[in-house]
Amino acid sequence: MSKKEKLLLFILLSAICHLPSVLTAATSQTGTTTASFLKIETGARPVGMGGAYVAVVDDINAVYWNPAGLVQLQSREFSFIHTAWLEKIHHETVSFAAPGNQRFAYGLSVVFFGTTDIDRRTAAGINDGKAKVADYYESVSLAWKLMDNTSIGATLKSIQMTLDNDKGSGYALDLGALQKLPLNMSVGIMVQNLGPKMKAVDTSEKLPTNVKTGLAWRALDNKLVLAGDIDLPNDREMKFHAGAEYQFNRLFALRAGYEDVGSLGNSSGMTAGISINEDMLDEILNVNMQFDYSWLYFGELGSTHRIGISVKF
């Protein structure tokens, strides 16, 4: 590594080493945050790996997990992800990302979260029909390669929330960095949802800001990926992620992981996932299509399922 790369790596690792002290300040501010749907992880591949992805980010999922990883894209990518969330709530993500040149990449994304299956009741407890929940955000991501092994990125989000007749809006910023290390390892760090308090009706509440950091290691000619992440959110305790992926061939990959989901029912979740590549379309249309599925177990609350389709062209 060059002297500049060593300096950046030292700064990055120093920041990670000081994160435990940040935790004390974060937990002292534990309380209510708004726009909780921003915390729902998107992407079937990352969730199948237990949400340990901030240092992996080598595909379109970098738009959510760490925009600095967009510089690793080799082609344009489009993806659609459907999540069957808890209590008949659905979560949809549509994203596009592309390399601009050797040192620049960008991404666009729209994320929707909602349901029409919530009972509305009067003050006397009488059923008054169904309430509508429709939350979404649009985002723009940019990434720059500072040096051969170092990149940074940012994502700007425009947030809209609707709960029946009540509405709120705001914006948030994600900042990320990615550093490749010797021995085929990488380290990533990201701050999610920086921004002012979000206004809804007559109240203003803080956004669910979160600091993510992690390590990833690729082995066996990059067929095996092992990763671990730590989250430091501002509205709950520290959260851990661990995951693995093994690519058997161009057609088939398996994933497994563990994600601490203690904020939901005091339980922790095992994850699993699979991907299938459609080589036939690649040969006929020069389009590489991938189908991903992941499962996340929330204990007594049940399970969530994600199905994703991505196309590289």
Give pLDDT tens digits for 104-117: 999 999 999 987 66
pLDDT of residue 28: 44
Cα distances (angstroms) measured from residue 125 to each of 43, 117, 118, 122, 129: 39, 17, 14, 5, 12
pLDDT of residue 25: 44
Q: What is the pTM of this model?
A: 0.83
Answer yes or no: is pLDDT of 268 > 50: yes
Cβ pair 167, 133 in contact under 8 A = no
pLDDT of residue 20: 47
pLDDT of residue 24: 44
Answer yes or no: is pLDDT of 306 > 90: yes
Within a domain: 118: yes
Within a domain: 204: yes
Within a domain: 256: no
Give me the CATH number covering residue 49.
2.40.160.60
Structure tokens at 285: 């249309």
pLDDT digits over 119-174, tens only?
665 555 666 666 677 899 999 999 999 998 999 999 999 999 887 677 888 999 99
pLDDT of residue 198: 85
Cβ pair 79, 310 in contact under 8 A = yes
Within a domain: 128: yes
Within a domain: 109: yes
Q: With bands split at pLDDT 50, 70 and 90, how would you rate the model's confidence at 14?
A: low
pLDDT of residue 22: 46
Q: For residue 90, what are the domain limits? A: 3-248
Give the contacts of 182 (CB within 8 A, at least 6 positions apart): 1
Within a domain: 299: no
pLDDT digits over 229-258, tens only?
999 998 888 889 999 999 988 788 999 999
Answer yes or no: is pLDDT of 217 > 80: yes
Summarize the confidence of residues 88-106 as an average pLDDT.
91
Within a domain: 264: no
> Which of the two residues, 223 and 24, has the higher pLDDT score?
223
Within a domain: 261: no
pLDDT of residue 33: 77
User: Total domain count for the chain?
Assistant: 1
pLDDT digits over 41-63, tens only?
999 999 999 999 999 999 999 99
d(CA 227, CA 52): 6
pLDDT of residue 250: 77
Query: What is the total residue count of the chain?
Result: 313
d(CA 29, CA 97): 35
